[in-house]
Structure 1
Amino acid sequence: MSLINISNLTFSYDSCYENIFQNASFQMDTNWKLGLIGRNGRGKTTLLKLLLGMYPYSGSISSNVSFEYFPYEIENKERDTLEIIEDMIPDLELWKLKRELSLLELPEEVLYRSFSTLSNGEQTKVLLAALFMKEEAFLLIDEPTNHLDLRGREIVGNYLNSKRGFILVSHDRFFLNQCTDHILSINKADIEIQKGNFSTWQLNKDRMDQFELAENEKLKKEIKNLTEASKRTAKWSDQVESTKNGSLLSGIKPDKGYIGHKAAKMMKRSKTIEARMEKSIEDKSKLLKNLETVESLAIKPVSYHKSKLAEAIDLFVVYDERKIMDPISFSVSAGDRIAIKGQNGSGKSSILKLILGEEIEYRGNYHTGSGLIISYVPQDTSFLQGDLRTFAREESIDESLFKAILRKLDFSRTQFDKDLREFSAGQKKKVLIAKSLCQEAHLYIWDEPLNYIDVISRMQIEELILQYRPTMIFVEHDRCFIRNIATAQITLTK
């Protein structure tokens, strides 16, 4: 066991107006299984890169361990996988590597294939197995689940749970619960570490938020009462002064001792009220700094003139005359929220494209209702470029509403002036979701919408869907999202 000490860490990018980190200090144990969470743009990946020494910073980061980053960058993916791993680990013991692959339910033959021929999920597993063989290293694992299906996430989650000595960035609540024992959260005002998994952290966070909200209300009332008391004291002071003047004018000699005593009492009372008010204001200023304001979103579903929007009977997708999935039958009725599940490559995206009206070769029967308006969120965000105003105009959506939704999804106003190409992966996904929320549609089709989206925003989106109950078909690998949202599930097999 050793410690990683971070003291007074301050960092900002040259292009940023504000610091990403400001005098942050905390300590990590290299024996922990540490989940790193925070809203998009808060600096999770930046923190990992600072630990790797990739950027200059002020403050100090001290430890006696080396750091390894996932995903590991492969220069030539056409080489055999084993050759690539041997470059990563010169003193490789093959039997140990095969043991790790077995734990990840990968066959040994992947080692003797070109790395480029491996699926994204297989590449993720191979690189994790290799990096965990560097036993003296502390691993910095940045969003490993993005290319994993539900089964893949379960396997990798179990694998990580059997290890220790890593920081894991993930927005998947089920996955974090599966394999972490501490949570490091980058909050609005500070950074904190708690023992336990994500559910423990969320429970504690909710309790603290409720306590601080109650304390805030109590202090607001107290400050209001003290302000009124201060005004009454000032009024009494004026009355004493007027009594003094009135006595002189009437020719009656005032009792200066009495008036002086009364004035002194009022002064003492005024000072006490002032001190209490300052203390209450100071206490109030310490509250709610880390309260995540999760404002409600809105969606614009449109009623369809028929109860059934689409139907498939014995449908399967064909690629190069080859059936890539077993036949399925389903219907989509108003209010349905259907999750399409299946291993990577089982045809999930192909089914969505078919519903969207794209040219997909298939067998069986499929039809959609006439005049069906669909709002679509694709997986890919690489096409995004230009500013938000131009994007809104090209997509024929209301710019003010579009930006208001992005603000609720934790975009800062400075973000609005940037080119979309400069956005983080999570921010690009939020742009596509915000666009979809601005569109009036009968059916919402979302293809892995939550990739890179932070946990708080995921819960916002869940609340939105449960409130407005739009008709949806979606592909998603977040178990919690599926459990909370789906009214029905279609599982593709092959």
Structure 2
Amino acid sequence: MILACQNISKSFGTDQILNDISFHINEREKAAIIGINGAGKSTLFKIIMGQLQADSGEVIFAKGSSVGYLAQHQDLSTENSIYDEIMTVKKDVIELDNSIRRLEENMKTVTGRELEQMLSTYTRLTHEFELKNGYAYKSEVVGILKGLGFVEADFNKPVTALSGGQKTRIALGKLLLSTPDLILLDEPTNHLDMESIAWLETYLLNYNGAVVVIAHDRYFLDKVVSKVVEIENTKAICFEGNYSAFAEKKAQQRDAMLKHYLNQQKEIKRQEEVITKLRSFNREKSIKRAESREKMLDKIERVDKPVMEQSHMSIRLEPHIISGNDVLTIKDLSKSYDALKLFDHLNFEIKRGERVSIIGNNGTGKTTILKIINQLVSYDSGEIKLGAKVKIGYYDQEHQVLSSEKTLFDELQDTYPHMDNTKIRNILAAFLFTNDDVFKRIKDISGGERGRVSLAKLMLSEANFLILDEPTNHLDITSKEILENALVNYTGTVLYVSHDRYFINKTATRILDLTNKNLINYIGNYDYYLEKKPVMEMTASSAHHNTSFKAEASTSESNLTETKMDWKLQKEEQAKLRKKQNELKRTEEEIQKLETRNEEIDTLLVQEDVFTNVSKLLELNKEKKTIEERLEELLLLWEELADA
């Protein structure tokens, strides 16, 4: 065991944040601390690191162990370059290397006993140098920097010129290079692109020490951790396994708790009815028995009703009108900023009902594409065409669609003047803004809260084409899952940019990978993308750099490349899936229609003018039998289609 937290409690004023938190971390174990925003995760890390004093409890480290901590926000104040700053971690190795070089020079000019002493020192120093991986420390530093998304051209940039996110990456690099026995990471994936996150996953999995991480990236948690500590309602519960295993166990646990609660409530109600009945007999014995039961009822330890996850935030997205089948068509789209060319001759189409995710490294132009479609940014060349009856709802990660000086209440009222005060308050309450919160100004609330306001406006827009830029940023895991369900059940069309791979995996029906200034198309979710990526990229790299997947798909069948064949197969698979989905929907509609008619017949059969009329009775019974037989067939068909 390398870390033990025993009975940690912490309050701020009258607000209890942590209450009797206990868990332990074993050597080399990879664990996650999860919970909704404000649950106390970062507070717990600060208590572990001694930056905050707990009200009670203790933190115990293994004797002689070293601990490294990455906070969410870093403020590196140094004049060093990126490379020199991260090299400060290897100061002892560099000094050792310099000492060895000096000894080598000095040994050339001495003999005898002095030479023997120098050779002995040289042997000791080179052995220590080897133990500290001295012969590979430069390549180790370069590997860390590249893994975290820096290219060699960045190495000489001064740290002072970097953004907050880039400084956090430098701090993460320094922490990883220092190789402590225990690493605490608070949201390490926030400022990393997908490739860097994948690199970090592999690095942490192979890391020789223990890792405890706070993260909302569920895909990352699935890959890295084998233990989950959930903080909920000030308490902590430990689960063995990754995030998906935790989610499954948590759902089972919640269902069991709810079942236990409902059964207890049922028994309490039954006992109360018996007590009332016994008292109503108004006899001495019956009253005594009632009193005895009351005493037993008072001794029962009441189970609290479990808080259901859906009570945190409520989102329902529904288009007001249905768009045409062709929602968006983009041809030969190009965009540059001075000498920087983001993309060239992009071609793609989006059909009604699709949920398309644009992915790619930071700086490739994903957000720019969304802004161009929304006419917020101009483009150099190309054509953008929206389909018939398309109404766009736009979610901007920078929340520029919000007026910073307005209150939350005014923001909604001014956008939707037909809504009365009660409805506006109800909508804001659904997004966790209650009481005087609704009169806060946009500029005075956090990024996560602004995100919730933007989602509230989006829900009210009744748009049939949602364009979302990083919609899960600043949302806790529960809120992300609620948004996922809303999008999956949304009957309109969605185009979005996200780095949240778990979110993409749950919601995307198609992925557009913006790489090498062009788009590669994958008809499937994120797992499908990972499976097909090596083959698709290999084929795409051999094609002309100006050829988009749309142009490839339209060439003659005799000239189809492997990529185009794959595209064609994907289209066929999607067409089959849509056919099955449509058949499933038709089957459900027919089942509902027949069940409604069946109920109507049942109502008619008990009417006197019907059951006294033999011919009418026979006719209805015959129809009911036919319906029952057809329902049996449809239910079997529904099961087959649902399984498929």
TM-score > 0.5 by shorter chain: yes
Letter in 1 for 2:366: K
SS state at 1:324 partner: strand
Once the two structures are superposed, the pairs formed by residues 256-271 of structure 1 within 5 Å of their partners are 263=285, 267=288, 269-271=289-291
**In 1, Cα distance between equivalents of 2:346 and 2:218:** 30
Once the two structures are superposed, the pairs formed by residues 24-423 of structure 1 within 5 Å of their partners are 24-29=20-25, 31=27, 32-64=29-61, 66-71=67-72, 73-76=74-77, 79-86=80-87, 91=92, 95-96=136-137, 98-99=139-140, 101-102=142-143, 105=147, 110-115=154-159, 124-136=168-180, 138-163=182-207, 164-188=209-233, 190-236=235-281, 238-240=282-284, 263=285, 267=288, 269-280=289-300, 282-285=301-304, 287-288=305-306, 293=311, 296-303=314-321, 306-320=324-338, 322-369=340-387, 372-381=390-399, 384=404, 387-396=407-416, 398=419, 400-401=422-423, 403-410=425-432, 413=435, 415-416=437-438, 418-421=440-443, 423=445
Check whether the contact 1:37–1:169 (CA below 8 A) recurs between aligned residues.
yes
Letter in 2 for 1:70: A
Check whether the contact 1:86–1:92 (CA below 8 A) recurs between aligned residues.
no
Check whether the contact 1:173–1:480 (CA below 8 A) recurs between aligned residues.
yes
SS state at 1:153 partner: helix
Check whether the contact 1:70–1:128 (CA below 8 A) recurs between aligned residues.
no
**CA gap 1:37/1:421 in 2 versus in 1, 3 angstroms:** farther
SS state at 2:474 partner: coil
Letter in 1 for 2:20: A
**In 2, Cα distance between equivalents of 1:447 and 1:346:** 14
Q: Which runs of 5+ in 1 are unaligned?
A: 241-262
Task: Please report how far the alpha carbon of residue 178 of structure 1 lies from its aligned counterpart in structure 2 after TM superposition.
Answer: 0.8
**CA gap 1:170/1:207 in 2 versus in 1, 3 angstroms:** same
**CA gap 1:168/1:394 in 2 versus in 1, 3 angstroms:** farther
Task: Please report how far the alpha carbon of residue 312 of structure 1 lies from its aligned counterpart in structure 2 after TM superposition.
Answer: 0.8
Check whether the contact 1:375–1:445 (CA below 8 A) recurs between aligned residues.
yes
**CA gap 1:485/1:54 in 2 versus in 1, 3 angstroms:** same
Task: Please report how far the alpha carbon of residue 349 of structure 1 lies from its aligned counterpart in structure 2 after TM superposition.
Answer: 0.8
**CA gap 1:479/1:427 in 2 versus in 1, 3 angstroms:** same
**CA gap 1:204/1:272 in 2 versus in 1, 3 angstroms:** farther
Deviation readout 1:116-141 (Å, 9 max, x if unpaired):
66688765544323112334464332
Task: Please report how far the alpha carbon of residue 375 of structure 1 lies from its aligned counterpart in structure 2 after TM superposition.
Answer: 1.9
**CA gap 1:292/1:350 in 2 versus in 1, 3 angstroms:** closer
Q: Which runs of 5+ in 2 are unaligned?
A: 95-133, 517-644
Deviation readout 1:367-386 (Å, 9 max, x if unpaired):
33587532211122587565
Equivalent of residue 19 in structure 1, options 5, 16, 21? 16
- Residue in 1 that maps onto 2:583: none
Max Rg structure = 2
SS state at 2:230 partner: strand
Worse-superposed segment, 40-49 or 418-427:
418-427
Task: Please report how far the alpha carbon of residue 450 of structure 1 lies from its aligned counterpart in structure 2 after TM superposition.
Answer: 0.5
**In 2, Cα distance between equivalents of 1:182 and 1:412:** 35
**CA gap 1:458/1:127 in 2 versus in 1, 3 angstroms:** same
Letter in 2 for 1:330: F
Letter in 1 for 2:464: H
Higher helix share: 2
**In 2, Cα distance between equivalents of 1:135 and 1:294:** 39
Check whether the contact 1:9–1:57 (CA below 8 A) recurs between aligned residues.
yes
Worse-superposed segment, 332-341 or 417-426:
417-426
**In 2, Cα distance between equivalents of 1:27 and 1:330:** 51
Task: Please report how far the alpha carbon of residue 225 of structure 1 lies from its aligned counterpart in structure 2 after TM superposition.
Answer: 0.7
Deviation readout 1:241-261 (Å, 9 max, x if unpaired):
xxxxxxxxxxxxxxxxxxxxx
SS state at 2:473 partner: coil
1:461 aligns with 2:483: yes
**CA gap 1:100/1:213 in 2 versus in 1, 3 angstroms:** farther
Pairwise CA RMSD? 3.2
**CA gap 1:278/1:123 in 2 versus in 1, 3 angstroms:** same
TM-score by length of 1: 0.82
